[in-house]
Each structure stands twice: as C-alpha cells, then as structure tokens.
Amino acid sequence: MTVQYDLRSKVVLVAGASSGMGRATASAAAEAGAGVVLAARNAEALEEVRSSITQSGQSAIAVPTDVTERTAVDHLLTVALSHYGRIDVVVNSVGTNIPRRALDELTAENWSAMLTVNLSAAFHLTQAVIPLFRRQGDGLLIHIASSAARKPDRSGVAYQASKAGVVGLAHGTMEEEREHGIRTTVIFPGLTDTPMVLKRPTPTPPEVLARALQPEDVAAACLFVMGLPARAYVPELLLYPSRF
C-alpha cells in the first residue's frame, strides 16, 4: 500500500489484527509510521503479523488477547502502555459469523455467542480505553462494522443485530465523551474478500468475489480517518464495491 499519511506520532491498537481487515489496517498503520499494538486470540497468526511488520523496519508488539473477556482487555492496555506510553487510536476489527444463520435455524446459544464476539468485545474495548483517552484529552475509536448494519441482507439476524449494536455503542460513546476530546467512527464495508466469506452457508461465486473489496481498501479508509486532525469528526463511512 502506498503511504499517504504520516502517523509517526501515533500509537494504534488493532483488535482482530491476525487476519483480514484488521491485519491490513495494522500493516498500513505501521507503514505510515505508527507504533502498532496487535491483538487477537490466534497467537501464532498474530506473531506472524508482528514479524512481518518488524522485518520491514516498523514498530509493533503482539499481545494475544480474547477481547470478549474484560480482564484480558485490561491486560492488553497495560502491556500497550508499558511499551508505548500512550494509545491514540483503537481499531475494533473483531467479528464473526456462522453458517447456520437463518432465523429458523439460529439457536439461543449461537445468538448469545454472536453478541459476545461482535458486540460485547466492542463494549469492553470502549469502556476500558475511555479513562485513558480522557487523561490524554484525545483519542479515536474506529469500529469496523458491516453494510449489514445499514441495509437488510442475508447475513443473518444475529450478525445484523450485533453489528447494529456496535453502531449504537459508537454514537452513544461520542455523545457522552466528545467534551473530553474523544471521537468515534463507524466504517461500513460491503462484501470484502476476507476469511469470513468462507463461513457463508452457500459459497460466494468466484466472479462475485473478484469484484469484492479487498482488506486493504478498508485499511485505507481507516487511515484516512486516523490522518485527520482532532478537530474533524467522521461519524460514519460507507464503503461498497463499485460494481454491485
């Protein structure tokens, strides 16, 4: 990716950094000069991302974390602050879906699990970092949601409801915290070629996937928001494939 933004004064924490949009965003932020904190459950994949970044001469640490657990999120922030001294941006790229997603097949257990990963993780990240952002007098939260939170589709009611909940969390946080210099942005990507596509009950045709967004496109949107001055606020950013 061509660097368009100078983030050398920033520390960016990316949750969900082991693959897909999170990995692309972490790599792009590091390339733009940011110190990057990588968080995800898959320690092996996370270390591979960290190694890729540092071998290019950029700065990153990997902190294996289950962000659905508040104590784990608190530990993540402690490690990040110990290493970098501050956190300027938190990117929430955590999300999952399930193959059996239709309303008539969705179980109560799967519903609860989807809310835990897609919504509770966002809450834990938000609530944990707000005191730090207040002390700094500045901070940016970027939530990568989904176009499913803006318009009906067949991604499943649990996925749509949980991602819509992230939108409410982000906007409510902004209303409560704007006086402390805290900003929130929600990015709504359409179909993107990531590992989550493999969880669809019916495989996406190759000719459709060929026209999908790439994770780097979402990363570019994140960097645009990160690169803006603190006086600028982007509530929402819609990003769709141009050909469907």
3-class SS at 182? strand
CA dist 101 and 113 (Å) reads 12
Q: Residues for the chain: how many in total?
A: 244
**240 given a catalytic annotation:** no
What radius of gyration, in Å, describes the C-alpha atoms of the chain? 17
Q: Please return the burial class of 151, using the count of CB atoms within 10 Å of its CB with bins 0-12, 13-18 and 19+.
A: exposed
Which residue is catalytic, options 5, 84, 159, 240?
159
CA dist 162 and 237 (Å) reads 18
DSSP assignment, residue 96? -
| Backbone φ and ψ of 63, nearest 5° | -130, 95
Q: Are the C-beta atoms of residues 44 and 70 closer than 8 Å to each other?
A: no
Query: Which residue bears the tokens 């402690």?
Result: 78
Q: Are the C-beta atoms of residues 173 and 130 closer than 8 Å to each other?
A: yes
Provide the β-strand partners of residue 35.
Answer: 11
Report the catalytic residues: 159
